[in-house]
């Protein structure tokens, strides 16, 4: 459907800009005038990137902010259309304002908020839309948005804690590699003149270090090109189903980190399914959406047995018992939830347990990784220094 960019004056006298979707320019103009806008300009435009899910204005942080503001306004007693209008006036990003304007247009046209969100499924995701739909069906949209906000905030906390924990080791590894490369490529070659007449009488370690330094000094640019080429190849290969499967299988087999990856993915699945079921979404639909949130293909394939099993009337715990890569704790907590009739609460509890273990596992892995990186850097530099000193001592021995 065509998209039209407009500039208009609102009922409050402020100038507003945005976009609206309509079959024809006349219909777009009619929609905007029905909102109480006085048009200044209306021109055909490209589809707004955020509507297609590709705009930077509606990333995870923006969706979280949008949800928080909408929750506050609805709890304050504002109707949904008025709340969206207020949010449009507050929006700092033009693309976000355009998105909110499209939602407002849909709501004023008689659609529910979940229906208005549907064209933006790539931005919000099935989980978000189904939560909103359950809130509309129950008549408690503000409360459901509050639970959705808690879910988004908790997910962000876990994701941020993992990313923050990885920053220091990444910097340390980069510094270590660069330091060793600089020493080999620029410092070691300075001693070549001293060792020029030594030939094979130089210690083996010294000759190896000098050869490595010469290789970096002479062919460093080629090495960088080769590394970049390998990186490009791996990036494209990992984008293929085969590459993703190999990577995900390898990640799960890593000591310590494999367990962290497993618990992180299961926690996402459990929180998604538990939150949806607790807000009135059917278990089958919740499982389908929850499985789609899992990034690791091996775990996603293992969880894919749940949907057909539940369709056949089989218990979720029984299906999990037959799945690979699923721990006994997951099966037992799901079984307890089924027997007590509180599957949603048990799944959220499982997510909380695993979130705590993910954070502890990341800290434990980093507690081992950081000293290992320091030892690697120190050891490599020590080997270079020993090699140079051995060569110097050999020169002195020959001199005397």
Residues sharing a CB contact under 8 Å with residue 192, sequence separation 6 or more, in sequence order: 210, 214
Q: What is the pLDDT of residue 53?
A: 39
Checking if the pLDDT of 30 tops 60, the result is yes
In tens, the pLDDT along 52-87 reads: 334 444 577 788 888 888 888 888 888 888 888 888
**Window from 43-52, 156-165, 207-216 with minimum mean pLDDT:** 43-52
In tens, the pLDDT along 220-243 reads: 888 889 989 998 998 888 888 888
Q: What is the pLDDT of residue 229?
A: 92
Long-range contact set of residues 197-205: C-beta below 8 Å, sequence gap at least 24: 198/391, 198/394, 198/395, 198/398, 201/394, 201/398, 202/391, 202/394, 203/387, 203/390, 203/391, 203/394, 205/383, 205/386, 205/387, 205/390
Checking if the pLDDT of 99 tops 80, the result is yes
19, β-bridge pairs: 5
Task: Scan for tokens 């721990």, then name that residue.
Answer: 327
Q: Which two three-digit tokens encode residue 242?
A: 């085969």
Q: Is 152 left (phi over 0), alpha (psi -120 to 50) or beta?
A: alpha
Q: Which among 298, 288, 303, 291 is positioned nearest to 241, based on CA atoms? A: 298
Q: What is the pTM of this model?
A: 0.63
User: Alpha-carbon torsion 327, 338, 345, 268, what sign?
Assistant: positive
Mean pLDDT value across residues 320-324: 75
Q: Which among 52, 58, 59, 138 is positioned nearest to 97, based on CA atoms? A: 58
- Report how far residue 251's alpha carbon sits from residue 262's, in angstroms, rounded to the nearest whole number: 9
Q: What is the pLDDT of residue 13?
A: 63
- Report how far residue 98's alpha carbon sits from residue 101's, in angstroms, rounded to the nearest whole number: 5
Checking if the pLDDT of 91 tops 70, the result is yes
Do 22 and 4 form a contact (C-beta atoms < 8 A)? yes
By percentage, how much of the chain surpasses pLDDT 70?
89
- Report how far residue 400's alpha carbon sits from residue 395's, in angstroms, rounded to the nearest whole number: 9
In tens, the pLDDT along 329-345 reads: 888 888 898 888 888 88
- Report how far residue 76's alpha carbon sits from residue 74's, in angstroms, rounded to the nearest whole number: 5
Do 198 and 398 form a contact (C-beta atoms < 8 A)? yes
Do 40 and 50 form a contact (C-beta atoms < 8 A)? no
Checking if the pLDDT of 23 tops 70, the result is no
- Report how far residue 26's alpha carbon sits from residue 341's, in angstroms, rounded to the nearest whole number: 54
Average pLDDT of the residues of the chain:
81
Q: What is the pLDDT of residue 397?
A: 63
- φ, ψ dihedrals at 222, nearest 5°: -70, -40
Strands 15-21 and 38-45: unpaired
Q: Is 92 exposed, middle or buried (0-12, 13-18, 19+ CB in 10 A)?
A: exposed
Overall residue count recorded for the chain in this entry: 400
In tens, the pLDDT along 376-395 reads: 888 888 888 888 888 777 76
Q: Which two three-digit tokens encode residue 346?
A: 């048990």
In tens, the pLDDT along 106-153 reads: 888 888 888 888 888 888 887 788 888 888 877 788 888 888 888 888
Q: Which among 300, 288, 289 is positioned nearest to 262, based on CA atoms? A: 300
For residue 356, name the pLDDT band (cuts at 50, 70, 90): confident
């Amino acid at each position: 459907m065509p998209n039209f960019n407009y500039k208009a004056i609102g009922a409050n006298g402020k100038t507003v800009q945005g976009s609206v979707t309509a079959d024809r320019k006349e219909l777009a103009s009619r929609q905007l005038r029905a909102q109480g806008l006085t048009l200044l300009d209306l021109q055909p435009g490209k589809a707004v990137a955020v509507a297609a899910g590709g705009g930077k204005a509606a990333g995870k942080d923006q969706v979280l902010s949008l949800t928080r503001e909408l929750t506050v306004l609805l709890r304050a007693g504002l109707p949904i259309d008025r709340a969206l209008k207020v949010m449009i006036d507050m929006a700092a990003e033009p693309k976000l304002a355009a998105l909110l304007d499209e939602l407002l247009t849909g709501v004023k046209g008689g659609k529910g908020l979940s229906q208005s969100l549907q064209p933006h499924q790539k931005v919000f995701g099935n989980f978000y839309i189904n939560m909103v739909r359950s809130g509309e069906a129950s008549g408690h949209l503000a409360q459901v948005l509050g639970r959705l906000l808690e879910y988004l905030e908790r997910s962000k906390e876990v994701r941020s804690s993992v990313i923050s924990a990885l920053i220091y080791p990444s910097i340390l590894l980069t510094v270590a590699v660069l330091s060793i490369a600089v020493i080999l490529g620029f410092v070691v070659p300075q001693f070549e003149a001293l060792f020029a007449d030594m030939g094979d009488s130089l210690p083996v370690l010294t000759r190896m270090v000098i050869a490595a330094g010469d290789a970096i000094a002479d062919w460093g640019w080629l090495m960088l090109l080769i590394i970049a080429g390998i990186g490009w190849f791996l990036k494209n290969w990992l984008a293929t189903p085969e590459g993703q499967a190999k990577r995900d299988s390898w990640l799960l087999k890593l000591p310590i980190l494999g367990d962290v990856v497993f618990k992180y993915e299961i926690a996402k699945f459990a929180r998604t399914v538990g939150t949806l079921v607790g807000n009135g979404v059917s278990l089958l639909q919740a499982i389908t959406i929850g499985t789609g949130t899992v990034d690791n293909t091996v775990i996603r394939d293992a969880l894919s047995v749940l949907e057909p099993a539940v369709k056949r009337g089989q218990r979720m715990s029984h299906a999990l018992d037959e799945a690979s890569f699923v721990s006994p704790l997951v099966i037992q907590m799901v079984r307890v939830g089924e027997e007590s009739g509180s599957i949603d609460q048990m799944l959220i509890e499982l997510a909380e347990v695993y979130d705590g273990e993910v954070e502890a596992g990341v800290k434990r892995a980093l507690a081992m990784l950081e000293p290992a990186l320091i030892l690697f850097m120190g050891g490599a530099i020590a080997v270079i220094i020993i090699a140079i000193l051995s060569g110097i001592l050999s020169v002195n021995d020959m001199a005397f």
